[in-house]
Structure 1
Amino acid sequence: MTRLRLTQICLLSLFAFMGQPNLSFGQSNDSPPTQPAFGRLDEATAHQWSELVLDGVDTQFPNKLSLVYTDADQLKTPKENFPAFYGCFDWHSSVHGHWVLARLLRTHPDLDAAPKIRDVLSAHLTRENIEQETAFFGRDQHKSFERMYGWSWYLRLAMELDDWDDTDARRWRENLRPLENLFVERIRDYLPLLTFPIRTGQHTDTGFALGQILDYARVMKLPDLELLVIDRAKAYYQTDIDYPVQYEPSGHDFFSSGWNEADLMRRVSNSNDFADWFEKFIPNLDERLRDGTIEPVAVSDLSDGKLVHLAGLNLSRAWCMRAIAMSLPDDHPHRDSLMQSASDHLSAGLAYVNSGHYEGDHWLATFALYALTQSDGERDE
């Protein structure tokens, strides 16, 4: 993308933020801006994001339930249905908010907020709470609830806690197993029935969920689940060519279905085979990066719960582009341009985290943390 266009996006971001608190990325508003780097999260930002998420996971309202009711007796508050994951506006955001807390506690154990994080995770991730949520999801009327977006974030949370040498984390991890096992069973039943992938820039995108599930299957050493995901990924996407990048984004996107697809396919192919597939999937990539076809996007209204999705699009594109670049052969001509675009997208997305508007604040820290620190099943100790 051109530097002029990046400057325009930054200015639009600033105008969207005018009059709002917490404009900075881990620094005071008087400090000069710094370029964020993949794999690094400073203590100030970790503290800021932990406070943001701690507030969200205990905020029951506003809340979007998106449930099917079969009688009036089922009308309950979010906390009555979901004693563990009732906050952060919706179930999946609460789940991945807990992932943020677990990851920050694991990677930054000396945070000022660490004791509070432990208290919140211990209060929410109890055996009784998870068993109650498992019973809720086990009802036939809820078999498609949070499929597969929320399910995959729950598996990511389980993966984060797994093999962590920490007394509390071992307890939390064991408590997650009943609902975890239900989701794995549901995935095994569902994927053979999903004839076509769901291609969308929002929650139900198949490519994103399969990438998360594949990471989980490999870390947990579940070869049957791994092979099922690989088989479905290749059936859905192996022959795709000429992805229409010029059609993106749609107005409410927080994902690029195409970049999610490529991020999945790099997981199921060796480096050279993936490079061949990727060249056909997005031909003339460098030209499209130069001419502005693929570039970060600005958010016009941070108080609009749908329009603010575009902030997440910047972050999800960033993690996809970086992972794809790292999967290409060392001498591949697209590596450097992809890494630069990933960095530009990361910078644009991070500017919107902690804006003071709950519409984005209840979830954007997750996308930011994932973009900065996550790599498949690897976990920073």
Structure 2
Amino acid sequence: SWATHVDILSDKIVAKWKAYLPKMTYPNRIGTHSNSAFALAFAIDFARARGDKEFEQALIAKARQLHLGDKKAPAEWEPNATDFFSPTLMVADLMTRVLPQREYVRWLSTYFTPQGINRLCEKPVVSDLTDYTIVHLVGLAYTRAWTMARISGYLPQGHPLKARFARTSAQMYAHGMDQIFRSDYGGDHWLATFARYAEEVMKANKIKH
């Protein structure tokens, strides 16, 4: 009965997605709620789970349009002060759903810079767990964990980022878990969902935590 009621809402959301996609000219590369790569990735997962091929293909086409030409993403500028998403990792995570593996490896080879990768592998500094926006950075540790886990799982054996992202994914997850139970209401009301999803993605990609 819950599914029946939720389907009413999901059908409304899908209809709005289908109406909006043709009008979507630019991506939203923000580190918070309205990040478009995050939205596209979850929408693709939904379309595949529901078997909605038309919706899936429209989402894939839009992702390719928006991000296939991305090169030398300035990940060394991350994070912003209140990020709970890494804009660059969210795009790389999205494209694992969009590109065949060989094409993905070619795309990834020009997407990140060495400086950017080094920056992404640094644990976010959370100076005040009681601040309602600074605590977002605990969530960033979890989203880095799940995006790196998925990217690592999609890369072929021997790719230099496969082992590095797998190792960093586990470190990011542990960093989040070290702080989540001290995050006050600003983190308590949402961080558990990020932790749970990160755990699922890591498990699916055989990353121990």
TM-score bin (small chain): over 0.9
**Where does 1:36-115 land on structure 2 (aligned, <5 Å)?**
none
Partner of 1:278: 108
* AA matched with 2:95: M
Partner of 2:37: 207
1:299–1:307 CA contact under 8 A, matched in 2: yes
Deviation of 1:374 (Å): 3.5
For structure 1, the residue ranges without an aligned partner over 5 or more in a row are 1-170
Deviation of 1:293 (Å): 5.8
**Where does 1:347-358 land on structure 2 (aligned, <5 Å)?**
347-355=174-182, 357-358=184-185
Distance of 1:354 and 1:216 partners within structure 2 = 31
2:160 is equivalent to residue 333 of structure 1? yes
Distance of 1:215 and 1:209 partners within structure 2 = 10
**Where does 1:308-347 land on structure 2 (aligned, <5 Å)?**
308-347=135-174
2:149–2:201 CA contact under 8 A, matched in 1: no
Partner of 1:298: 125
Root mean square deviation of aligned Cα: 1.8
Distance of 2:14 and 2:117 partners within structure 1 = 39
After TM superposition, the runs of 4+ consecutive aligned structure 1 residues lying more than 6 A away are none
For structure 2, the residue ranges without an aligned partner over 5 or more in a row are 205-209
More helix by share: 2
Partner of 2:57: 227
- Number of aligned positions between the proteins: 204
1:246–1:294 CA contact under 8 A, matched in 2: no
Deviation of 1:283 (Å): 3.3
Identity of paired residues, percent?
Answer: 33
Deviation of 1:288 (Å): 4.0
Partner of 2:98: 268
Deviations 1:1-50 (A, max 9, x none): xxxxxxxxxxxxxxxxxxxxxxxxxxxxxxxxxxxxxxxxxxxxxxxxxx
| Distance change in 2, residues 1:314/1:235 (3 Å) | same
Distance of 1:317 and 1:215 partners within structure 2 = 19
| TM-score normalised according to structure 1 size | 0.52
Deviation of 1:271 (Å): 1.2
Answer 1 or 2: higher relative contact order, Cα 8 Å, separation at least 6.
Answer: 1
Deviation of 1:333 (Å): 1.9
2:134 is equivalent to residue 307 of structure 1? yes
Distance of 1:264 and 1:173 partners within structure 2 = 26
* AA matched with 1:306: T
Deviation of 1:354 (Å): 2.5
